[in-house]
Amino acid sequence: MRRLPSLLGKSLFLLAMIATGAIALHVFSFSTSSTESDLDHQRSFNEGYRIFSLTLPAQLDFCGEKVPLELLDVRERLDRELLVNTYWQSNSLLAHKRANRWFPVIGKILAREGVPDDMKYLALVESGLTNVVSPAGATGFWQFMQPTAESLGLEVNSEVDERYNVVRSTEAACRYLKEAYGRYGSWAMAAASYNLGPGNLERQTQRQQETDYFALLLPEET
């Protein structure tokens, strides 16, 4: 029974590929000549379609903490992320759809627990707001490894895995983030600790003798 979802997914993927091939065959078989209407549409597309860089905001904050846009490296990284997420339309549309469903649920819990509302985007970055399992075993919206989940009070066993429960896992994420904020005094560092792991971040702060998130050299994902 465990193989059924995998087989079903592969079957649907195969059917999608067959359908796509059939549509492509139809298009290329019967569209051998361009009509005047086709040419008008092409001209209109060529004249009207534009790709341009977005204007960066004059100022920006994360969880009420100022983002130092005066630093060139920070500006370049922000510009890259804006471009990628603006022109990767399919991914951005899916993210908006999922956010419309889940951000009200997550935001209400964050407010109740005293965690800044901006932290809801951490779940979006970690999992795309889907109950995925990473190759390393991190699970759910908040991508908890089993030992971390259990240390935060989530039940994880052969019968129950509360990492898949959006409400319970969000409450656990709040506990982690508040503890990390208490340690670093910065929500940006708390988010970095969440992604990188407290031990790894602690090693980097000691090695670099730096506790400012924007001054640390960290992996690109963090």
At 169 the pLDDT is 98
The answer to whether the beta carbons of residues 39 and 164 sit under 8 Å apart is no
CA dihedral 141, 183, 153, 150 (to 10 degrees): 80
Residue 120 located in a structural domain: yes
Other C-beta atoms closer than 10 Å to the C-beta of 127 total 20
- Does a structural domain hold residue 29? no
Q: How many domains, in total, are found in the chain?
A: 1
Question: What is the residue range of 65's domain?
Answer: 61-215
Residue 20 forms part of a structural domain: no
Six-digit token string for 57: 């905001």
Q: Is the pTM of this model over 0.85?
A: no
Residue 17 within a domain: no
Q: What is the CATH number of the domain that holds 196?
A: 1.10.530.10
Q: In this structure, is residue 38 part of a structural domain?
A: no
188 part of a folded domain: yes
Q: What is the tens place of the pLDDT at every residue in 52-111?
A: 677 888 888 999 999 999 998 888 888 888 888 777 778 888 999 999 999 999 999 999
What is the share, in percent, of the chain residues with pLDDT greater than 90?
50
* Residue 44 included in any domain: no
DSSP lists the bridge partners of residue 156 as 161
Question: Residue 54 falls within a domain, yes or no?
Answer: no
Which residues of the chain register pLDDT less than 70? Answer: 1-36, 45, 49-52, 222
Helix 89-113 and helix 120-127, axial crossing angle in degrees, nearest 10: 140
